[in-house]
Amino acid sequence: MGPLFSTIQPMLSARSEYHVFMTDVKRNAILRSIFSSYYEDVHSDKVVFDTNRTWCGKVGAIGELFPKARIICCVRSLVWIYDSIERLIAKNPLEPSRMFNYEATSNVFARVNILNSSSGLVRASYNCLKDAYYGPHSEKLLLVTYESLTMKPADTMAAIYNFLEESPYVHDFENVELDLEEFDIRFGTRGLHTLKRKVEFVARDPILPPELVMEHEKSAFWKNRDARGSRAQVI
């Protein structure tokens, strides 16, 4: 849905020669119809979870279309995100990944630079998150830290349901299942979405060079208690 929305929204703007015939009422109806068409097999009384990293950059538009919509952001320090990606690259040394535009990058600094560019896989999402966190619609955000989810999964999930105003569901944190192997293969990064069955926190030492660790160690801005007026919730 993210790419579909991002493709069609500009077509309803002044970029199109037919912009003169477009109104906000029509834009609203057309954009809402994309969601209803895509999820036509889902009953109207169901809650839909659409996973895409770009929604934080469209929180205003989503709020206009769906006032009750909320965004759950799973967050972790960039150090550990880059570290996890490096571990994946080490497991797939022969096949370049889509996250680097399938380029055979030569070193960790080059790879982090690509991910950390303004349009990079990580930085683009990170910037959208900060924009939404400090923006006028921050009350629609719930940030869930990796540490909370892995150390206290039951309490964290209870807080998520409370944020969504939905009835809790009993989860089995000893047997988590996710099968996205085909997607990972097409992405050129086997194991990208592979999860351990048990939800638990595992401490580890980073394999990133110390220089990169120091550069990104303060990236967890949500730990700053002085949120400058942000109404986002953080678990």
Residue 62 falls within a domain, yes or no? Answer: no
**Residue 87 and residue 132 in one domain:** yes
Domain that holds residue 13: 1-50
Q: What integer pLDDT is reported at residue 137 of this predicted model?
A: 95
Residue 183 in this model has a pLDDT that exceeds 90: no
**Residue 140 and residue 186 in one domain:** yes
Residue 221 in this model has a pLDDT that exceeds 70: yes
At 115, the amino acid letter reads L
**Residue 121 and residue 149 in one domain:** yes
Residue 160 in this model has a pLDDT that exceeds 90: yes
Residue 14 falls within a domain, yes or no? Answer: yes
What value does the mean pLDDT take over residues 171-190?
Answer: 87
Residue 11 falls within a domain, yes or no? Answer: yes
pLDDT digits (tens, 9 = 90+) for 22-34: 899 999 999 999 9
What span, in angstroms and rounded, lies between the C-alpha atoms of 1 and 7?
10
What's the predicted TM-score (pTM) here? 0.88
What span, in angstroms and rounded, lies between the C-alpha atoms of 210 and 195?
27
Q: Provide the domain count of the chain.
A: 2
**Residue 141 and residue 190 in one domain:** yes
**Residue 74 and residue 36 in one domain:** no
Closest alpha carbon to 60 in 4, 21, 123, 5? 5
Q: What integer pLDDT is reported at residue 92 of this predicted model?
A: 84
- Tell me the torsion sign for CA atoms 151, 81, 137, 69: negative
Beta strands in the chain, from DSSP E residues, in sequence order: 71-75, 141-145, 233-234
Q: What integer pLDDT is reported at residue 153 of this predicted model?
A: 96
Least confident of 54-58, 108-112, 158-162, 181-185: 181-185
- Residue 226 — very low, low, confident or very high, per pLDDT cuts 50/70/90? low
Percent of the chain past pLDDT 90, that is, above it, reads: 59
**Residue 144 and residue 222 in one domain:** yes
| Residue that has been written with the tokens 């906000």 in this structure | 24
Residue 40 neighbours by CB under 8 Å, 6+ apart: none
What span, in angstroms and rounded, lies between the C-alpha atoms of 23 and 29?
10
Q: What integer pLDDT is reported at residue 227 of this predicted model?
A: 60
**Residue 168 and residue 227 in one domain:** yes
**Residue 180 and residue 91 in one domain:** yes
**Residue 39 and residue 74 in one domain:** no
What value does the mean pLDDT take over residues 100-120?
Answer: 87
**Residue 1 and residue 116 in one domain:** no
pLDDT digits (tens, 9 = 90+) for 125-152: 999 999 999 999 999 999 999 999 999 9
Residue 219 falls within a domain, yes or no? Answer: yes
Q: What integer pLDDT is reported at residue 225 of this predicted model?
A: 66
**Residue 211 and residue 117 in one domain:** yes
At 59, the amino acid letter reads V
**Residue 15 and residue 108 in one domain:** no
